[in-house]
Structure 1
Amino acid sequence: MTEVAPSDQLLVVIDPVARRSDGESVRIAKDVLSAGAATKVCLPDGPEEFARALARRGSRRPVVVGDDRALLRAVSLLHRQRALGACAVSLVPVGGVLSLARSLGVPMGAVAAARAVLDGVERRMDLLVDDSDGVVVGALRIPSVPALDPVSAPVPVGGLSDGRLPWLRTCQSLVRTLASASRPGRVGASVATPGPFRLRVEVDGVLLVDLDQPVEAVSVTPGVLGGAEVEVRPVSVGAAVAPLRVVGRRVTVSGADFRYRADAVVGGPVRTRTWVVREGAWGLTLPVG
């Protein structure tokens, strides 16, 4: 780890979702950061302003106040600006989607996280980069987990739950049935459990599974000493089949059109995609110890 100088100038980019969801935590974080360092605070209203703020940061160290999605947006933008190697990213987690921040070791409280920004150390981490210049910080999943279909979500009416509206449940069930019958059978298009899939998976040029072996899922996680953990779960027919697990630096997946989830972002459909581990490609400021 590399020590972060407390006198650094900070560019504090406050995500609009954080401002709407928890203004008090945002205010506390801003006060702690401003008391400990020279700060420039940016309040972008959308992705374009968010990107411009990072592009114009100069020598300031970027601090993102927001949730996992804001962190991923910052890492992706800095990667495309080829600036990840020159600066550490800091995060004060505010919002409802914080599982990635927690897994990375970022403190969850606004005060503790802001103090870690000021007094912490930079930890270099691996990154997965695909052949379209997309990045993966936490995990890659194939196929992508289907999003909740709008017609299947509970619909509150006048403050009542659907448990008190049986006619609403009946209508939703009918709409789901008709919708699923009319959809084409592509990955991620239905709320039903997906699979099986026929995919060809190669790790460092070695074939792990071919199209003749249907699989339930593939996952790739960066950060294992310059390698990525790859897990393939074959479909079990009769007897249980153990997952295939290997560590490698280059992962290529091909097959019929498939979708994938890179952290919180769904990509595809594609016929083939390759992900390569970039060792120590980005830095995150974390508490000492």
Structure 2
Amino acid sequence: MPVRSRPPSPGARTRSRCVVLLALLLGLLAAACRTEVDVHVQVEPDGSGRVTVTVDLDAEAAAQLGDPAGLSFEDMTSAGWEVDPPAARDGGLRIVAVRTFATPEQLASVLDEVGGADGVFSGTSLELSDGFAGSSTEFRTDLALSGDPAQFSDEQLTQVLGGLPLGRTPEELALLGADRPDAATLTVRVSLPGGADEANGEIDGGVASWTAPMTGGTATDEELTASAEDRRTTTLVLAGAGALLVVAAVVVAVVGLTRRAD
């Protein structure tokens, strides 16, 4: 017998404290077959940038959810996020939220807002160096997922949802298929100036990426690292040309002195 959907109240929605939690509430509480969350960190040469969170709900989840106009994103917009109106995509629903950061140090706090304060992202650092021959950028963060979506809830939200972290019992979530590893997945992508040269994840088109399940009970504890080097080819060419001119001048001087000696 299917479990009836119990969408969270508007109060529960506005109390969500992180973007990923919002995705899980919309997906799992709407009886979703699949929820995909993409977190894209884009870094500019000066160390500023943006974090874009894209949430894709499949067709079944979108149908269960009903009219997306009733969704509230006030907590996110008041925190500085720009949220696009939910848009239809491949029969499902897509929600995009963007948060900018002005300095490398601010990136850590933005990722805390994405994953919550319980260590989904921790130890985040973004280091930039600028030298004569070029610049380099290094990104790292620790990703910790328990495999249980309740990880993204908190005490206040649990109280609002009737004492359940996600508003459903583990048995109800299992009947909905929310305990499958592919029920909810998280992909982290990082774009660095000049494109990533090295990463311990996949690199496609200069963008480093990692994917892990948020459901299914399989824990993820992984350090994500990516780096990029932007060499100044023009500077190197000019430096090489300058060195050649110096060598040529020395040769001319030596030849001149030799002729005078003769």
Scaled to the shorter chain, the TM-score interval is: under 0.3
Q: Answer with 1 or 2: which has the greater Rg.
A: 2
